[in-house]
């Protein structure tokens, strides 16, 4: 018989931390902690394999599962010396979900299971605390009815509210045992009314229904959405953990809390957490009461505090990673309910990794594996520009729940957030508190601001996971409908505000945001990634490692990228240079010229300006290679389309507007993406590329003459055939050689091509004959391989992602089986012609970690990405090298 249920308790467990896949993170850690002798309430875990089988068999269990549950329950009852439903000394258990990957708040939990009309009296007499017993019973009814039986929770909230009103009290705690007993009666009546049956008294029936509910929650809409947003797939399902209840709400010597072995916001090695006395765990997480910082416990209960510190040290040393623990004090006795590697901000991930290396807890490679590219990316999120802050009005301060600054227009529901963002607005989601249904809106928003809840509230945890800035528990703001007031001032939907999740400050108005610089920790951490990356050997490749370059068109961007570790420019788009004032007019003059002579005359005026552009880039990248792409966009992108603009240009150029309109109309295309652009312009208007190549080589000569070290790589865009490549290559060579001959100089340059058309990939062996290097333009390659116009696909890609037709947006993360297969084909064919040919990627995928791993495996020599993605790419490349080794 397959083993479906795993026991833990009494210092011994069937499972261990290595069994996360099967027992879920929570179950595996409960087993591991039990084995370590940590005080964990005993229980058992029903494996994720049962969840998988449950869904595969149309929501029924494999035979043997329920028997094993009964056996383990027997074992638990024996160990605890209590029985479920016992009228004297009843056992109460919790039933919780727990998948291999943590999905906070996504799935359902039922506490106090085992309560019934007998048990409540047993608990009451055993504890001598009837108020506690009836409170536990009414909480159980509500949770069971809602979670296991699908009843609306408002039914119970209304009954409770009515009772409080009748009694003239405000807080639940002001209700006494008698009130609560009455409440239980009313709750049971309500249950019977809605479910057409009595509230179940048989604890085994309760348990079966609770287990069903947890497995059922695996595929509830929020859980599916959460997995989707976090790209979690390939899991078997959730496990179910049935565990003896301990109570933080047993009275004033009881309490419950959440603590971290280090600060999950900053990564600093300080004990960090929150607790509430006389409360259950749900009270902390739900953010209804604002908890005390863990440091208070030191004063109020030094013994428990000492024990807790010892346990967290032990757990962190055992797992060699920052721990996130739930604990309960039951009448002064400490229990650890769960431990897991803590979710943390990007800053905390780096700080923690660097500190742990210094503390000799982990080695550098482990440190590099510990920080995800998404976490690192957070550090390059915008901050409020320091100058801006002086003039911004601080209106409130809350908890600094998720770092980074955000500015946007206020909206008050997740739905509105998604709606506004869909039409291109930037929004800040303002809520009392968020709940799992808000995930979509939180993802869409620039930032989140809540008026209640602590650092471990739903909003805070989820926002940190997403890397979305969040200020939580900002009590100063009062939300009513579609507005909030603070300091007597009203902010309506659509008003601009700014939050700083690093400080907790909230400002009125729109802010200018800036991005932080490198820190010492970051520099060290990234140097470790470089060590790994640059020493990596791949079969068949001569050079070690993969190089990180940047896409930059201006000296300033180039300098920023270099400060982030860029090792060259992989894509310098020359057309961006034409959009400067002054240059654009000359270029337009060229475009509308009737004769070759007129075109050449205009280009002659552009030559010195382009030369200056290139010289600037070369100087900024001194000593490193610079890939310059010749003109790519269709000419109509450079001419105006409005009547007014046409008038202006026609005056400037001294052309009749009618003639200019005709010229412009002639340039219009039905599908510009597939039109007259790239090297097609180079073939039909050779004079344009000739001017550009001349400018590149003249600039290179000048910079070399003044002591520079220059490696220009001239790149031909949009080739599809061997013949195009040959003609372009030969013409470029002719112009370059001519410049060098005139200058009597010799410069180390090369002439290569983009591979961005499917045909180019399919015939890369032929194209390689006339190219010194390949650079994959995966943006265009994705457009043509999928037949998706990036400008238009917005009308169906969201639905495609929702229906799982696409698992990733192919413009964000490379489509490995289609576009990727073309890239791999081209690499193989190209290297057949030139075995040591340099190949890289300059599409936006060059900054996407999953894509970088693919490019690494495929044998590319470099990736090129936007300047702020360079550190992320360095990390992703190092992780790819580690993954390829293992």
From 128, 146, 122, 134, select the one nearest 195 (Cα to Cα).
Answer: 146
522 with 514: CB under 8 angstroms?
Answer: no
721 binds a copy of itself (CB under 8 A): yes
Q: Which is nearer to a copy of itself, 453 or 810 (CB)?
A: 810
Annotated binding-site residues for Mg(2+) read 756, 780
Q: Given the structure tokens 């009546």, which residue do they identify? A: 189
Q: Which of 166, 595, 746, 817 binds a copy of itself (CB under 8 A)?
A: 817
454 with 283: CB under 8 angstroms?
Answer: no
Q: Which of 166, 520, 795, 886 binds a copy of itself (CB under 8 A)?
A: 795
842 binds a copy of itself (CB under 8 A): no
Cα torsion angle, 829, 833, 837, 841, sign:
negative
733 binds a copy of itself (CB under 8 A): no
Q: Which of 213, 444, 819, 826 binds a copy of itself (CB under 8 A)?
A: 819
Q: Which is nearer to a copy of itself, 640 or 818 (CB)?
A: 818
720 binds a copy of itself (CB under 8 A): yes
Quote the crossing angle between the two packed helices 177-195 and 154-167, to the nearest 10°: 150
| Shortest reach from residue 653's CB to a copy of itself, in Å | 22
Stretch that binds a copy of itself, among 327-335, 475-483, 672-680, 740-748 (CB under 8 A): 672-680
672 binds a copy of itself (CB under 8 A): yes
For the chain, state the CA radius of gyration: 32
Torsion of CA 423, 429, 434, 436, to 10 degrees: 20
Annotated binding-site residues read 573, 629, 756, 777-780
804 binds a copy of itself (CB under 8 A): yes
Q: Which of 434, 505, 783, 864 binds a copy of itself (CB under 8 A)?
A: 783
Q: Which is nearer to a copy of itself, 289 or 680 (CB)?
A: 680
Widest pairwise Cα distance in the chain: 104
422 binds a copy of itself (CB under 8 A): no
Residue 8, strand partner residues: 13, 43
805 binds a copy of itself (CB under 8 A): yes
319 binds a copy of itself (CB under 8 A): no
The CA-atom distances, in angstroms, between 154 and each of 187, 206, 284 are 12, 21, 20
Q: Which is nearer to a copy of itself, 297 or 631 (CB)?
A: 631
| Shortest reach from residue 720's CB to a copy of itself, in Å | 5
Give the span between the Cα atoms of 428 and 51, in whole angstroms. Answer: 37
| Shortest reach from residue 617's CB to a copy of itself, in Å | 28
Q: Which is nearer to a copy of itself, 123 or 757 (CB)?
A: 757
Q: Which of 232, 235, 674, 704 binds a copy of itself (CB under 8 A)?
A: 674
Give the span between the Cα atoms of 98 and 343, in whole angstroms. Answer: 15
Give the span between the Cα atoms of 372 and 421, in whole angstroms. Answer: 27
From 215, 122, 137, select the one nearest 177 (Cα to Cα).
Answer: 137
Annotated binding-site residues for substrate read 573, 629, 756, 777-780
478 with 485: CB under 8 angstroms?
Answer: yes
Q: Which of 713, 815, 844, 848 binds a copy of itself (CB under 8 A)?
A: 815
Phi/psi for 182 (5° steps) reads -60, -40
* Total residues binding a copy of itself (CB under 8 A): 49
779 binds a copy of itself (CB under 8 A): no
* Active site residues per annotation: 458, 842
Give the span between the Cα atoms of 232 and 802, in whole angstroms. Answer: 14
390 binds a copy of itself (CB under 8 A): no
The CA-atom distances, in angstroms, between 543 and each of 120, 528, 536, 595, 709 are 72, 19, 9, 48, 21
Q: Which is nearer to a copy of itself, 135 or 756 (CB)?
A: 756
786 binds a copy of itself (CB under 8 A): yes
Contacts of 194 (CB under 8 A, 6+ apart): 145, 151, 155
Stretch that binds a copy of itself, among 242-250, 575-583, 811-819, 863-871 (CB under 8 A): 811-819
780 binds a copy of itself (CB under 8 A): yes
In the numeric block, which tokens belong to residue 284? 């902390």
812 with 877: CB under 8 angstroms?
Answer: no
| Shortest reach from residue 804's CB to a copy of itself, in Å | 7
Q: Which of 286, 683, 745, 884 binds a copy of itself (CB under 8 A)?
A: 683
Q: Print the binding letters for residues 739-778 with a copy of itself: x by CB under 8 A, - otherwise.
A: -----------------xxxx--xx--x------------
| Shortest reach from residue 764's CB to a copy of itself, in Å | 11
Determine how many CB atoms are found less than 10 A away from the CB of residue 474: 24
Cα torsion angle, 767, 768, 769, 773, sign:
positive
What residues line the site for a copy of itself (CB under 8 A)? Answer: 669-676, 680, 683-684, 718, 720-721, 723-724, 727, 756-759, 762-763, 766, 780, 783-789, 791-793, 795-796, 799-800, 803-806, 815, 817-819, 821-822
């Amino acid at each position: 018989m397959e083993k479906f249920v795993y026991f833990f308790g009494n210092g011994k467990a069937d499972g261990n931390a290595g069994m996360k896949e099967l027992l879920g993170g929570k179950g595996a850690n409960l087993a591991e902690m039990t084995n370590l002798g940590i005080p964990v309430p005993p229980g058992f875990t029903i494996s994720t394999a049962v969840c998988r089988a449950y869904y595969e068999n149309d929501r029924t269990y494999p035979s043997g599962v329920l028997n094993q549950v009964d056996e383990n329950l027997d074992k638990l009852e024996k160990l605890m010396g209590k029985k479920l439903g016992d009228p004297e000394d009843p056992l109460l258990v919790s039933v919780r979900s727990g998948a291999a990957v943590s999905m906070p708040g996504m799935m359902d939990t039922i506490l106090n299971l085992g309560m019934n009309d007998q048990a409540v009296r047993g608990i009451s007499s055993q504890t001598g605390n009837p108020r506690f017993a009836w409170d536990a019973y009414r909480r159980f009814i509500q949770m069971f009815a809602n979670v296991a039986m699908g009843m609306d929770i408002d039914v119970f909230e209304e009954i409770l509210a009515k009772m409080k009103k009748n009694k003239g009290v405000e807080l639940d705690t002001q209700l006494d045992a008698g009130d609560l007993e009455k409440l239980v009666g009313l709750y049971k009546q309500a249950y019977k009314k809605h479910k057409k049956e009595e509230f179940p008294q048989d604890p085994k029936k309760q348990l079966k229904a609770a287990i069903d509910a947890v497995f059922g929650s695996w595929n509830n809409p929020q859980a599916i959405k959460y997995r989707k947003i976090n790209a979690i797939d390939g899991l078997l399902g959730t496990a179910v953990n049935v565990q003896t209840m301990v109570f933080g709400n047993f009275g004033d010597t009881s309490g419950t809390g959440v603590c971290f072995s280090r600060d999950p916001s900053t990564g600093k090695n300080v004990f960090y957490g929150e607790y509430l006395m006389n409360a259950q765990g749900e009270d902390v997480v739900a953010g209804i009461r604002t908890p005390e910082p863990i440091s208070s416990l030191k004063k109020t209960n030094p013994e428990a505090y000492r024990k807790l510190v010892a346990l967290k040290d032990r757990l962190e040393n055992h797992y060699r990673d920052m721990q996130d623990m739930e604990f309960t004090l039951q009448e002064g006795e400490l229990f650890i309910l769960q431990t897991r590697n803590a979710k943390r901000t990007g800053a905390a991930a780096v700080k923690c990794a660097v500190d742990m290396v210094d503390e000799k807890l982990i080695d550098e490679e482990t440190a590099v594996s510990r920080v995800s590219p998404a976490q690192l990316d957070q550090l390059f999120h915008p901050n409020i520009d320091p100058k801006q802050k002086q003039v911004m009005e601080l209106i409130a301060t809350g908890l600094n729940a998720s770092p980074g600054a955000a500015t946007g227009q206020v909206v008050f529901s997740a739905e509105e957030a998604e709606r506004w963002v869909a039409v291109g607005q930037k929004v800040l989601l303002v809520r009392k508190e968020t709940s799992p249904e808000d995930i979509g809106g939180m993802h869409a928003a620039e930032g989140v601001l809540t008026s209640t809840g602590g650092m471990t509230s739903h909003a805070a945890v989820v926002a940190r996971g997403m890397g979305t800035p969040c200020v939580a528990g900002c009590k100063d703001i009062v939300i009513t409908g579609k507005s909030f007031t603070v300091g007597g001032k009203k902010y309506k939907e659509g008003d601009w505000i700014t939050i700083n999740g690093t400080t907790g400050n909230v400002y009125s108005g729109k802010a200018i945001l800036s991005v932080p610089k490198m820190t010492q920790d970051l520099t060290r951490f990234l140097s470790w990634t470089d060590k790994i990356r640059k020493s990596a050997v791949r079969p068949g490749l001569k050079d070690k490692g993969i190089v990180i370059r940047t896409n930059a068109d201006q000296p300033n961007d180039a300098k920023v990228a270099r400060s982030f570790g860029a090792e060259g420019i992989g894509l310098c788009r020359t057309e961006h240079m034409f959009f400067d004032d002054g240059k654009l007019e000359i270029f337009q003059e060229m475009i509308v010229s009737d004769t070759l002579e007129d075109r050449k005359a205009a280009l002659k005026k552009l030559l010195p300006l382009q030369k200056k552009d290139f010289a600037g880039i070369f100087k900024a990248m001194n000593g490193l290679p610079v890939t310059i792409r010749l003109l790519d966009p269709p000419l109509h992108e450079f001419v105006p389309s409005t009547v007014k603009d046409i008038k202006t240009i026609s005056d400037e150029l001294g052309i009749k507007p009618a003639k200019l309109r005709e010229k412009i109309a002639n340039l219009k295309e039905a599908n510009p993406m597939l039109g007259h652009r790239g090297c097609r312009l180079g073939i039909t208007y050779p004079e344009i590329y000739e001017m550009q190549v001349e400018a590149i080589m003249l600039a290179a000569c000048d910079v070399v003459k003044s002591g520079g070290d220059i490696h220009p790589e001239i790149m031909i865009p949009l080739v599809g055939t061997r013949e195009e490549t040959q003609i372009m290559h030969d013409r470029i060579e002719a112009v370059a050689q001519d410049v060098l001959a005139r200058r009597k100089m010799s410069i180390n340059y090369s002439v290569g091509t983009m591979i961005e058309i499917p045909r180019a990939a399919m015939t890369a062996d032929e194209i390689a004959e006339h190219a010194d290097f390949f650079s994959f333009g995966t943006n265009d390659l994705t457009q043509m391989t999928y037949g998706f116009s990036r400008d238009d696909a917005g009308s169906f890609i969201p639905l495609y992602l929702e229906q799982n037709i696409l698992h990733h947006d192919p413009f964000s993360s490379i489509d490995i089986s289609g576009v990727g297969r073309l890239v791999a084909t081209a690499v193989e064919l190209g290297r057949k012609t030139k075995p040591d040919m340099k190949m890289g990627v300059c599409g936006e995928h060059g900054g996407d970690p999953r894509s970088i791993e693919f490019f690494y495996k495929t044998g590319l020599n470099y990736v090129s990405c936007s300047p702020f993605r360079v550190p992320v790419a360095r990390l992703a490349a190092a992780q790819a090298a580690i993954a390829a080794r293992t």
